[in-house]
């Protein structure tokens, strides 16, 4: 919002356009030419021009009333007739010069408009329109009673009266013509003057503030009143003006005709229907329209008037057509297409920061629905159109990455909109393993407990069984997901959160709920179509599939989380490396009570070696969705042969092979997917950031998919927040790509490798080539022999099964990412060595780029993790007892940079107590040193001890991270 | 005597005007549309009945029923294909389109039937009258007209307040957007309303042709009467329209005692007076 | 006292929408008005602005009795009002919308008011949209336009009617900012609002209405905590 005062002198308001100045010049030439025209024109041409000019005048007056003022009248013939009769009365009965009679007729028209308007303004809208018609009828009937002027049959102008007009002889002599011709010339001149004067007067009026008042009254009379416009006065002003114009024209027309009847003078067809057609076809609400319309009518009249009724019917049909198809008429079309105006009235504000839009581009009219209680009578009939949405971040896709982004951004206070093509979140329980890093993020969001309630705990996850079938012989078993006592310690030490198994169908709603509570705006059944971006933001075109309406969403940044077949990735042209469709796999969801087969060995995954299952993910799998009655069976198919068309019975047979016995079961869904080995080489272009499956596509082995997706979101969210609130430079957003792309690459490789690690087991067991159950059983039995080969085989099998720890106990891969980017400031120390296998084991360190290690500390007797002290959208400086200098530095730098940097001292006597002394152990800095933790819990920098000028150092580091290093 | 007679004539004339006006009132109530071709459609109906009787030899009742069915269909199509597209915030499109329609209808009828005045032959019934005693008599035709008007209004009231369709009409009239959210298809409702309105118009056309002569160009003046009856009576209630018609009929009836021109003029003057004093009509129901 | 309302009464048939309302608004103050739907809050605004005539009671603006004054004149005297549902002049540009208000509300020619209009557009953050038709503005922008139009009439007293409804938190914050600045620059504000946290961030005094009657008045926290208010909000609002 603006707070500084503005220099108004840098702004000006322009009304004229180049076109209008040219038009003015043209008029300056044209009008005198028209004045001189009688010298060269034939009499019939003169009469034609007279017709055109008078119609133009009438049309301009009507246009002022209806087009500019919103007062639709179909009774202007009242004043035309009045003018005609007044002119005649004054000329014949009172003896005025016809010219004076015409002028006075105009005044009379204006005077009578006052009481007429007074009565008629009690009506609104269409009823006002009919009321004007009634008024005209009243006038007609009244004048038809006036026998002095011929009553119902009318009268004619005596020729001596007609010739009594001033200047007739002069004109006749000047142009050397007879008096009737001279009368025509004079009439023509008066018509010309009248037309020019009326157009000039209207134009001048519209350019004053009264023009604005008129438009305001047309658009919303109530609101106009409330800003001080005297609506009644404006209404009367235009009504009286139009009446005067009509009366003057009527008087002139009938002077020229020299005879009058009530029928003709008050004819609806001649003075309203034709005028309506002129204005509507020419262009209502513009000054140019009536001119064009009059010319068109004239042309039509000339060609078609002989056709009598057909001509009128054609006019009627034409008016209907124009009203439906091009309601703004011919000139309206020109204005819209070319923003071209000869008589412009729009005010344009020109100055810094005030763009003048390209008026030829359709600016979408936003139709906002009215609140109930307001009369909806004037709402359009079609289904309410969507309006353009504007937000800071648009998220496409409501998978794990999408909802996580929405929840995080919303809780950071960033306005965001999430759109999803389908009508709800995941309906297939694909992702399920939720590792500790992800749980920590959910912990920060405050939904950790909710997840624990819904999830299957770690203890029930870890008996990874390798068998011939569930009921059949077990070939080997591995304790996984941290369930081995030795590994359990690793897992418990590493994080305050526990790894769990929760199907995507249950996890997404929890995160989604958080996002909604925090203010995310979601649109389901809204499909991303395309986007464009420029230096100010992104415009995304989407389609609401319910209303089948396409509209646009404007955002400063776009997050593409639209899954493994991401359209956004394709639109951006992100380079992808790797291969898709390496192998085919099927998921068969089914309900069956298998507890008797698994309760003694609870696990989330059971690996089944069956003939024909070795493709796909490496073996057949039975995965527990809900213990122990909801399952997912995985089987492979030859992707080269395309999707198989299994019947229901064949599906059941596959399941029975996996289970090993024919238990009662019910198949609920079958779906097909392919193994991919794809990672994007770049995750972002400009203001568009892709995450999740869109940029790393791999099989579900290792259970890393949704975890990585959510962590992608976590990495980007705080950066977007800081850039959007101006604290950080947009360069910070580049670090998203630098930090997460290597991770994506690593997990894609790891997941694909895990598949290949399964094949050796088949080989060792000798069952990779078997085709029947009997064959397989015979092979499996070989390892039970007491031969030397069998012993070797048993040893090999043992080794290979333990090797699967790289799939199921890959703690290092799950927890140990270390970032290298501009948002990590090295402290000059070398990367600490990996003392154990870096994939299997997590190595906690505070080396910049690593995640802050977890240890338990205490505040006021409440147990907290170090991870609870950091994150939440702000920077944190962790220091010890001797680190007060860092606290002060943090406060200063916080104020200077605008980024919240909170300092926390850990140690005796401090806010946080290092209960077990574990922090001192893992902090890797001295008591006076500090660890700067980024809003995503990763270490941005550290110092071993207090430096001479901690504020300067911290400032420099922060500026680097925020991308503001000079 | 003359006064009583004029009174009765006026009231019965009011029945005719009420018939003219009810169709107008119906569509304005439901969709805020003023149909400037209303009067011409009445004339079309009258011609249709005339053709049925003279060219096809149908009995008048049958011809009227056929015309009624035809007008229903025509009204439905007219609204769905043409007029629904014009509805919206701006009053100009429907006004202009119906005005254009009016011109087309008038000139079309001129082409087809020439400008001759016509009359639907009711035979003896057309001129019959019932003696009331005391020298007063009521024409059978005018009485029939009045009774039909009342019947139509009773039917419409029943339709609007005691049926599902009527409820949809009222819901759409109150708040088209919410009605739509509740599953009411506004376009269909409007088409139905227009179809219904034109059936009433057909009945009005029947009596128009019966009571007086008509020609292709007489539509607009009937429209004005219809309009005046609606305004005098007040928007939103059919009985109000009947009252408005009766008042107009009375005004014209008394005006006619002065001269034929004063018949119409008196009606206009009473209309303007009501407008001045009670712009919302004498018995308004709707909050508009 | 800028605004003095004494025993204001208004009923529609059997429904009393203003029941003996007596209220003072000091110059420069920011007063909030809360109350359930139908409590008569907007009606009070209509009575103050002259859109509705009272059955009894008086209203004085800076000493002048405006009870029977037509609405337009009250605008000229310095009462500005924004509508609950934005009512832009859709076919006019944003600039023109504000300009017409400045010319007719504050009195002056277009040229004379140009600087003022630019300033108002700047303060309400609408400069970038100045040349766009008002019909194409988003909801927040329309609400800002409502305020801009009211401000353009150079009001001494600005009446805001439920202006925060339908906005996201971020939009709300920026709106609150603007309102604060307007109040700080000397304009008295009376603000009806349902989004109470927005209200409480700005106003120094709160009035609670129910069934057309004032049921609470004073320090915002005290009013919010009062039994009468809590009964209404906890009783009627779930």
Buried b (16+ CB within 10 A) or exposed e, B248-286: bbbbbbbbbeeeebbbbbbbbebbbebbeeebbbebbbe
The Cα–Cα gap between A864 and A854 comes to: 10
The DSSP 8-state label assigned to residue A414 in this structure reads: -
Residue of B nearest to A311 (CA): B107
Burial class of residue B134 (count of CB atoms within 10 Å of its CB; 0-12, 13-18, 19+): exposed
- What per-residue confidence (pLDDT) applies to A940? 93
Do residues C18 and C212 lie in contact, with contact meaning Cβ atoms separated by under 8 Å?
Answer: yes
The Cα–Cα gap between A489 and A486 comes to: 6
Res. A780: pLDDT tops 60? yes
Residue A364 contacts C, CB cutoff 8 Å = yes
Distance from CA of C84 to the nearest CA of A (A): 10
Mean pLDDT, rounded, for A628-644: 85
Q: Where are the beta strands (DSSP E) in A24-157?
A: 155-156
User: How big is chain C by its Cα radius of gyration, in Å?
Assistant: 17
Closest CA to B249 of B97, B146, B139, B119: B146
| Backbone φ, ψ for residue A95 (5° rounding) | 85, 20
- Domain around B79: 18-217
Residue of A nearest to C109 (CA): A209
Chain B residues with beta carbon closer than 8 angstroms to that of A319: 96-97, 99-100, 103
The Cα–Cα gap between B203 and B66 comes to: 11
How are strands ordered across the β-sheet holding A500-501?
Answer: A433-434, A500-501, A456-457
The number of beta carbons lying within 10 Å of the beta carbon of residue C148 is 26
Do residues C51 and C71 lie in contact, with contact meaning Cβ atoms separated by under 8 Å?
Answer: yes
Do residues B41 and B97 lie in contact, with contact meaning Cβ atoms separated by under 8 Å?
Answer: no
Residue A370 contacts B, CB cutoff 8 Å = yes
- What per-residue confidence (pLDDT) applies to A376? 32
The Cα–Cα gap between A245 and A152 comes to: 25
Residue numbers of A between 293 and 312 with CB closer than 8 Å to B = 309-310, 312
In this prediction the ipTM stands at 0.89
> How far, rounded to the nearest angstrom, does the alpha carbon of residue B233 sit from its chain's CA centroid?
14
- What per-residue confidence (pLDDT) applies to A895? 83
Least confident of A612-626, A905-919, A944-958, B246-260: A612-626
CA dihedral B20, B23, B28, B33 (to 10 degrees): -90
Mutation for B interface: A284, A376, A546, A547, most B CBs within 10 A: A376
The Cα–Cα gap between A848 and A823 comes to: 10
Distance from CA of A720 to the nearest CA of B (A): 38
Chain C residues with beta carbon closer than 8 angstroms to that of A229: 72, 100, 104
The Cα–Cα gap between B257 and A550 comes to: 65
β C79-82/C157-161 pair status: parallel
Res. C169: pLDDT tops 80? no
Least confident of A19-33, A171-185, A360-374: A360-374
- What per-residue confidence (pLDDT) applies to A507? 94
Mean pLDDT, rounded, for C27-36: 90
Mean pLDDT, rounded, for A56-63: 96
- The pLDDT tens digits of the residues spanning B189-242 come to 889 999 999 999 999 999 888 878 888 988 888 888 998 998 898 877 888 899
Burial class of residue A138 (count of CB atoms within 10 Å of its CB; 0-12, 13-18, 19+): buried
Closest CA to A572 of A583, A580, A562: A562
CA distances from C41 to A880, C37, C192 (A): 57, 8, 7
Choose the most confident range, by mean pLDDT, from A170-184, A797-811, C83-97. Answer: C83-97
- What per-residue confidence (pLDDT) applies to A318? 87
Res. A359: pLDDT tops 70? no
Q: What is the DSSP string of A800-827?
A: HHHHTHHHH--HHHHH--B--STTS---
Mean pLDDT, rounded, for A448-458: 92
**In what helix (H) or strand (E) does residue A620 lie, and over which residues does it extend?**
strand A620-626
The number of beta carbons lying within 10 Å of the beta carbon of residue A591 is 14
Do residues A462 and A479 lie in contact, with contact meaning Cβ atoms separated by under 8 Å?
Answer: yes
Whether omega for the bond prior to residue A562 falls within 30 degrees of 0, making it cis, is no
Res. A115: pLDDT tops 90? yes
Mean pLDDT, rounded, for A9-23: 78
Q: How confident is the model at residue A354 (pLDDT cuts 50, 70, 90)?
A: confident
Q: How confident is the model at residue A79 (pLDDT cuts 50, 70, 90)?
A: very high
Res. A579: pLDDT tops 90? no
Res. A140: pLDDT tops 80? yes
Least confident of A658-672, A770-784, A891-905: A770-784
Opening angle at CA B198, ends B195 and B203, nearest 5: 135
> Is A228's CB within 8 Å of C87's CB?
no
Opening angle at CA B85, ends A272 and B164, nearest 5: 120
Residue numbers of C between 179 and 198 with CB closer than 8 Å to A = 181
Mean pLDDT, rounded, for A184-199: 92
All chains having 3 or more CB pairs closer than 8 angstroms to chain B: A
Residue C37 contacts A, CB cutoff 8 Å = no
Residue C169 contacts A, CB cutoff 8 Å = yes
Q: How confident is the model at residue C228 (pLDDT cuts 50, 70, 90)?
A: confident
Residue C79 contacts A, CB cutoff 8 Å = no
Mutation for B interface: A318, A377, A383, A546, most B CBs within 10 A: A377
User: How big is chain A by its Cα radius of gyration, in Å?
Assistant: 43
Do residues A245 and A205 lie in contact, with contact meaning Cβ atoms separated by under 8 Å?
Answer: no
Do residues A480 and A808 lie in contact, with contact meaning Cβ atoms separated by under 8 Å?
Answer: yes
- What per-residue confidence (pLDDT) applies to A384? 29
Count: domains in chain B: 1
Res. A93: pLDDT tops 90? no
Burial class of residue A129 (count of CB atoms within 10 Å of its CB; 0-12, 13-18, 19+): buried
Residues 6+ apart with CB under 8 A from A499: A433, A434, A435, A436, A439, A458, A461, A481, A482, A491
- The pLDDT tens digits of the residues spanning A260-275 come to 999 899 988 889 988 9
Tell me the average pLDDT of chain A: 86
Residue C41 contacts A, CB cutoff 8 Å = no
> Is A72's CB within 8 Å of B265's CB?
no
Chain B residues with beta carbon closer than 8 angstroms to that of A283: none
Q: How confident is the model at residue A65 (pLDDT cuts 50, 70, 90)?
A: very high
Q: How confident is the model at residue C238 (pLDDT cuts 50, 70, 90)?
A: very low
Mean pLDDT, rounded, for A193-216: 92
Instruction: Specify the pTM.
Output: 0.61
**In what helix (H) or strand (E) does residue A551 lie, and over which residues does it extend?**
strand A549-560
Alpha helices in chain B (DSSP H): 2-31, 38-54, 60-77, 92-113, 124-127, 140-162, 164-174, 176-181, 186-211, 219-233, 238-256, 260-277
Res. A775: pLDDT tops 80? no
Res. A368: pLDDT tops 80? no
- What per-residue confidence (pLDDT) applies to A614? 66
Chain A residues with beta carbon closer than 8 angstroms to that of C107: 228
Burial class of residue B87 (count of CB atoms within 10 Å of its CB; 0-12, 13-18, 19+): buried
Distance from CA of A123 to the nearest CA of C (A): 19
The number of beta carbons lying within 10 Å of the beta carbon of residue A381 is 17
Does any domain span residue B245?
Answer: no
β C157-161/C188-192 pair status: parallel
- What per-residue confidence (pLDDT) applies to B139? 80
> Is B177's CB within 8 Å of A376's CB?
yes
CB hemisphere CA count around A28 (13 angstroms): 6
Chain A residues with beta carbon closer than 8 angstroms to that of B102: 316
Buried b (16+ CB within 10 A) or exposed e, A468-484: bbbbbeebbbbbbbbbb
Q: How confident is the model at residue B183 (pLDDT cuts 50, 70, 90)?
A: low
Q: How confident is the model at residue A428 (pLDDT cuts 50, 70, 90)?
A: confident
The DSSP 8-state label assigned to residue A89 in this structure reads: I
Does any domain span residue B237?
Answer: no
Mean pLDDT, rounded, for A466-495: 88
Buried b (16+ CB within 10 A) or exposed e, A661-695: eebebebeebeebbbbbbbbeebbbebbbbbbbbb
Residue A131 contacts B, CB cutoff 8 Å = yes
Chain A residues with beta carbon closer than 8 angstroms to that of B180: 383
Distance from CA of A82 to the nearest CA of B (A): 17
Q: Which of A74, A119, A125 sits opposite B276 (nearest CB)?
A: A119
Q: How confident is the model at residue B126 (pLDDT cuts 50, 70, 90)?
A: low
Assign domain C3-78+155-235 to its CATH superfamily: P-loop containing nucleotide triphosphate hydrolases (3.40.50.300)
As a whole-number percent, the residues of chain C with pLDDT over 90 amount to: 29
The Cα–Cα gap between A946 and A926 comes to: 9
Q: Which of C118, C132, C153 sits opposite A228 (nearest CB)?
A: C153
- What per-residue confidence (pLDDT) applies to A314? 87
Res. C235: pLDDT tops 80? no
What residue spans define the domains of chain C? 3-78+155-235
> Is B96's CB within 8 Å of A142's CB?
no
Closest CA to A58 of A311, A240, A274: A274
Q: Which domains does chain A have, with CATH numbers?
A: 33-267 (no CATH), 390-465+495-574+678-742 (3.50.50.60), 856-961 (3.40.30.120)
Do residues A677 and A552 lie in contact, with contact meaning Cβ atoms separated by under 8 Å?
Answer: no
Res. A28: pLDDT tops 80? yes
Do residues C215 and C228 lie in contact, with contact meaning Cβ atoms separated by under 8 Å?
Answer: yes
């Amino acid at each position: 919002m603006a707070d500084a005062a503005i220099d108004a002198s840098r702004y000006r308001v322009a009304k004229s356009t180049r076109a209008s100045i040219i038009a003015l010049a043209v008029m300056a030439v044209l009008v005198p030419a028209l004045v001189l025209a009688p010298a060269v024109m034939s009499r019939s041409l003169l009469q034609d021009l007279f017709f055109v000019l008078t119609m133009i005048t009438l049309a301009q007056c009507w246009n002022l009333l209806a087009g500019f003022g919103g007062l639709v009248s179909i009774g202007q013939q009242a004043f035309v007739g009045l003018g005609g009769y007044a002119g005649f009365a004054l000329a014949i009965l009172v003896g005025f010069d016809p010219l004076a009679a015409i002028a006075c007729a105009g005044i009379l028209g204006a005077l009578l408009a006052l009481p007429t308007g007074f009565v008629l303004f009690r009506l609104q809208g269409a009823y006002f329109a009919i009321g004007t018609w009634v008024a005209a009828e009243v006038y007609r009937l009244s004048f038809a009673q006036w026998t002095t002027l011929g009553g119902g049959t009318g009268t004619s102008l005596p020729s001596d009266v007609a010739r009594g007009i001033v200047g007739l002889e002069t004109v006749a002599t000047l142009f050397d013509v007879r008096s009737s011709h001279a009368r025509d010339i004079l009439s023509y001149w008066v018509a010309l003057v009248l037309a020019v004067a009326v157009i000039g007067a209207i134009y001048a009026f519209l350019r004053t503030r009264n023009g604005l008042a008129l438009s305001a009254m047309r658009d919303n009379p109530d609101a106009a009143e409330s800003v001080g416009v005297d609506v009644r006065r404006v209404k009367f002003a235009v009504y009286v003006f139009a009446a005067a114009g009509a009366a003057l024209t009527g008087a002139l027309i009938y002077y020229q005709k020299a005879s009058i009847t009530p029928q003709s003078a008050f004819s609806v067809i001649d003075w309203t229907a034709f005028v309506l057609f002129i204005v509507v076809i020419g262009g209502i609400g513009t000054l140019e329209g009536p001119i064009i319309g009059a010319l068109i009518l004239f042309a039509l009249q000339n060609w078609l008037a002989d056709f009598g009724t057909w001509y009128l019917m054609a006019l009627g049909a034409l008016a209907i057509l124009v009203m439906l198809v091009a309601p703004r008429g011919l000139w309206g079309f020109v204005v819209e297409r070319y923003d071209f105006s000869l008589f412009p009235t729009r005010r344009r504000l020109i100055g810094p920061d005030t763009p003048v839009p390209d008026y030829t581009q359709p600016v979408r009219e936003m139709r906002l629905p009215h609140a109930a209680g307001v009369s909806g009578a004037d709402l359009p009939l079609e289904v309410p159109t969507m309006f353009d949405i504007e937000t800071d971040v648009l998220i496409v896709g409501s998978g794990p990455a999408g909802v996580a982004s929405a929840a995080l951004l919303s809780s950071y206070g960033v306005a965001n909109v999430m759109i999803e093509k389908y009508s709800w979140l995941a309906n297939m329980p694909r992702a399920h393993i939720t590792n500790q890093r992800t749980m920590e993020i959910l912990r920060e969001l405050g939904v950790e407990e909710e997840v624990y309630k819904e999830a299957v705990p770690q203890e029930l996850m870890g008996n990874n069984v390798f068998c011939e079938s569930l009921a059949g012989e077990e070939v080997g078993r591995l304790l996984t997901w941290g369930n081995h006592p030795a590994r359990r310690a690793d897992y418990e030490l590493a994080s305050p959160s526990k790894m769990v198994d929760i199907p995507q169908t249950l996890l997404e709603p929890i995160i989604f709920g958080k996002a909604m509570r925090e203010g995310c705006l979601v649109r389901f059944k809204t499909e991303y179509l395309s986007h464009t971006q420029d230096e100010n933001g992104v415009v995304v075109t989407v389609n609401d599939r319910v209303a089948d309406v396409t509209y646009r969403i404007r955002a400063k940044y776009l997050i593409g989380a639209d899954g493994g077949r991401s359209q956004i990735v394709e639109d951006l042209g992100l380079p992808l490396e790797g291969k898709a469709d390496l192998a085919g796999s099927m998921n068969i969801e089914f309900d069956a009570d298998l507890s008797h087969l698994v309760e003694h060995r609870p696990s989330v995954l059971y690996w089944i070696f069956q003939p024909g299952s070795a493709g796909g993910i490496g073996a057949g799998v039975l995965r527990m969705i809900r213990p122990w009655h909801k399952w997912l069976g995985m089987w492979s198919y030859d992707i080269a042969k395309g999707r198989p068309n299994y019947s229901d019975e064949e599906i059941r047979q596959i399941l029975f092979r996996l289970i090993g016995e024919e238990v009662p079961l019910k198949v609920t869904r079958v779906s097909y997917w392919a193994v991919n080995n794809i990672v994007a080489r770049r995750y972002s272009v400009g203001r568009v950031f892709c995450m999740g499956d869109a940029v790393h596509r791999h099989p579900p082995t290792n259970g890393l998919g949704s975890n990585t997706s959510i962590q992608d979101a976590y990495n980007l969210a705080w950066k977007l927040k800081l850039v959007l609130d101006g604290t950080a430079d947009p360069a910070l957003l580049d670090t998203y790509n630098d930090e997460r792309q290597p991770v994506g690459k690593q997990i894609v490789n790891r997941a694909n490798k895990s598949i290949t690690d399964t094949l050796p087991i088949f080989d060792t067991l000798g069952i990779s080539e078997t085709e029947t159950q009997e064959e397989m059983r015979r092979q499996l039995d070989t390892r039970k022999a007491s031969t030397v080969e069998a012993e070797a085989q048993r040893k090999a099998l043992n080794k290979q099964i333990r090797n699967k720890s790289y799939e199921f106990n890959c703690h290092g891969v799950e927890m140990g990412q270390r970032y290298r980017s501009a948002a990590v400031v090295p402290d000059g120390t070398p990367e600490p060595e990996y003392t154990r296998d870096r994939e299997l084991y997590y190595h906690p360190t505070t080396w910049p780029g690593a995640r802050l290690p977890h240890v338990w500390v205490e505040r006021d007797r409440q147990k907290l993790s170090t991870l609870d002290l950091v994150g939440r959208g702000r920077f944190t400086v962790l220091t010890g007892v001797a680190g007060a200098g860092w606290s002060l530095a943090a406060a200063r730098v916080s104020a200077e940079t605008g980024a919240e940097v909170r300092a926390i001292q850990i140690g005796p006597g401090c806010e946080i107590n290092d209960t077990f002394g574990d922090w001192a152990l893992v902090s890797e800095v001295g008591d006076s040193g500090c660890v700067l933790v980024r809003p995503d819990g990763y270490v941005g920098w550290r110092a071993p001890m207090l430096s001479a000028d901690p504020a300067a150092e911290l400032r420099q580091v922060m500026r680097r991270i925020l991308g503001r290093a000079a | 005597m003359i006064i009583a007679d004029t009174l009765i004539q006026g009231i019965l004339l009011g029945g005719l005007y009420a018939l003219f006006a009810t169709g107008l009132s119906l569509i304005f109530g439901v969709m805020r549309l003023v149909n400037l071709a209303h009067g011409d459609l009445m004339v079309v109906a009258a011609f249709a009945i005339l053709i049925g009787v003279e060219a096809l030899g149908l009995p008048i009742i049958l011809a009227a029923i056929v015309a009624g069915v035809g007008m229903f269909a025509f009204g439905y199509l007219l609204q769905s294909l043409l007029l629904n597209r014009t509805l919206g915030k701006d009053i100009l499109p429907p006004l202009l389109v119906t005005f254009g329609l009016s011109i087309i209808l008038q000139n079309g009828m001129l082409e087809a039937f020439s400008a001759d005045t016509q009359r639907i032959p009711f035979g003896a019934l057309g001129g019959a009258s019932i003696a009331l005693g005391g020298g007063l008599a009521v024409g059978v035709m005018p009485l029939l007209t009045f009774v039909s008007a009342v019947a139509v209004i009773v039917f419409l009231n029943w339709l609007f307040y005691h049926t599902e369709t009527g409820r949809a009409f009222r819901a759409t009239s109150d708040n088209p957007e919410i009605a739509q959210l509740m599953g009411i298809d506004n376009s269909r409702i409007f088409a139905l309303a227009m179809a219904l309105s034109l059936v009433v118009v057909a009945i009005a056309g029947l009596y128009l042709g019966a009571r007086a002569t008509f020609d292709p160009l007489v539509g607009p003046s009937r429209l004005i009467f219809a309009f005046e009856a609606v305004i005098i009576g007040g928007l939103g209630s059919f009985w109000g329209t009947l009252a408005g018609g009766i008042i107009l009929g009375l005004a014209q009836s008394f005006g006619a005692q002065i001269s034929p021109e004063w018949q119409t003029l008196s009606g206009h003057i009473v209309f303007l007076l009501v407008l001045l004093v009670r712009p919302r009509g004498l018995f308004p129901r709707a909050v508009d | 006292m800028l605004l003095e309302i004494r025993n204001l009464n208004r009923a529609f048939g059997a429904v009393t929408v203003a029941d003996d309302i007596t209220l003072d608004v000091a110059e420069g103050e920011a007063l909030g008005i809360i109350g359930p739907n139908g409590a008569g809050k907007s009606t009070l605004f209509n009575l103050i602005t002259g859109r509705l005539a009272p059955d009894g009671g008086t209203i004085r603006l800076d000493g002048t009795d405006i009870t029977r004054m037509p609405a337009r004149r009250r605008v000229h005297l310095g009462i500005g009002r924004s509508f609950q549902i934005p009512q832009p002049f859709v076919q006019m540009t944003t600039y023109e919308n504000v300009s017409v208000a400045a010319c007719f509300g504050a009195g002056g020619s277009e040229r004379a008011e140009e600087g003022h209009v630019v300033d108002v557009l700047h303060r309400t953050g609408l400069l970038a949209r100045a040349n766009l038709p008002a019909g194409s503005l988003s909801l927040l922008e329309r609400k800002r336009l409502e305020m801009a139009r009211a401000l353009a009439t150079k009001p001494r007293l600005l009446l805001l009617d439920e202006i925060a409804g339908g906005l996201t938190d971020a939009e709300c914050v920026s709106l609150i900012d603007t309102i604060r600045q307007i109040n700080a620059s000397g304009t008295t504000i009376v603000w009806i609002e349902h989004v109470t946290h927005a209200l409480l961030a700005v106003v120094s005094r709160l009035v609670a209405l129910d069934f057309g009657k004032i049921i609470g008045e004073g320090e915002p926290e005290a009013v919010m905590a009062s039994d009468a208010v809590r009964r209404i909000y906890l009783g009627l609002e779930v």
